Amino acid sequence: MKEHVDVLLSNEVIAKRLDEMAAEINAKYAGEQVELVCALKGAVMVLVELSKRLTMPVTLNFMDVSSYGNSMESSGNIKVLYDLDEDIAGKNVLLVEDIIDSGRTLSHLREMLMKRNPKTFTLFTLLDKPDRRVVEVPVDFVGFVIPDAFVVGYGLDYQQRYRNLDYVGVMSFIEE
């Protein structure tokens, strides 16, 4: 089987939407510092591109949480591989995600981080796949609602590959 990727969202479309979302975030947090929490590894590209568009003071923090392994579907078994290295108590926290699929991972992260007493807690995702939702999670900023397809690029991967694509594409397999 050969892997094939078709463009779903071009780099230009993503950049325009990030500009729009950053303007909303800038208005919401005008004059206040925000701690951007990145869910590694997929959200790194989103975090970098979003942070460059924000006008308030920001700090960065990272978590590595896994629910996919090498599969194309979330297992529902959430593992924290790397936790935050700074306390978020009393801070404006904006959790940056690449994609919300089943909602299991984000629900787990949200519960875990809310127990750490942030001043505010806001969720941001570039991509939302509501057709796959198993656990509902309130999301404040959604870039794109996408169909139920396996997507790669712009940080999203298949077996650690394709993260470097500057667009989001739908992955399929073709028989050789």
Whether residue 1 is contained in a domain is answered as no
Whether residue 34 is contained in a domain is answered as yes
**Residues 113 and 37 sit within 8 Å (Cβ to Cβ):** yes
Q: Which of 46-53's residues contact partners 24+ apart within 8 Å by CB, and which partners?
A: 46/18, 46/96, 46/97, 46/98, 46/126, 46/154, 46/155, 47/96, 49/14, 49/15, 49/18, 50/18, 50/21, 50/22, 50/25, 50/96, 50/124, 53/18, 53/19, 53/22, 53/26
pLDDT digits (tens, 9 = 90+) for 20-76: 999 999 999 999 999 999 988 889 999 999 999 999 999 999 999 876 555 455 555
CA atoms within 13 A on the CB side of 2: 4
Whether residue 156 is contained in a domain is answered as no
pTM above 0.75, yes or no: yes
Whether residue 131 is contained in a domain is answered as yes
Whether residue 167 is contained in a domain is answered as no
Catalytic residues: 101
How many Å apart are CA 95 and CA 167, to the nearest integer?
A: 21
Whether residue 4 is contained in a domain is answered as no
Whether residue 155 is contained in a domain is answered as no
**Residues 169 and 157 sit within 8 Å (Cβ to Cβ):** no
The amino acid at 162: Y
The domain tally of the chain equals 1
Domain that holds residue 109: 10-149
pLDDT digits (tens, 9 = 90+) for 90-129: 999 999 999 999 898 889 889 999 999 999 999 999 999 9
Looking up residue 141, the CATH number of its domain turns out to be 3.40.50.2020
Whether residue 166 is contained in a domain is answered as no
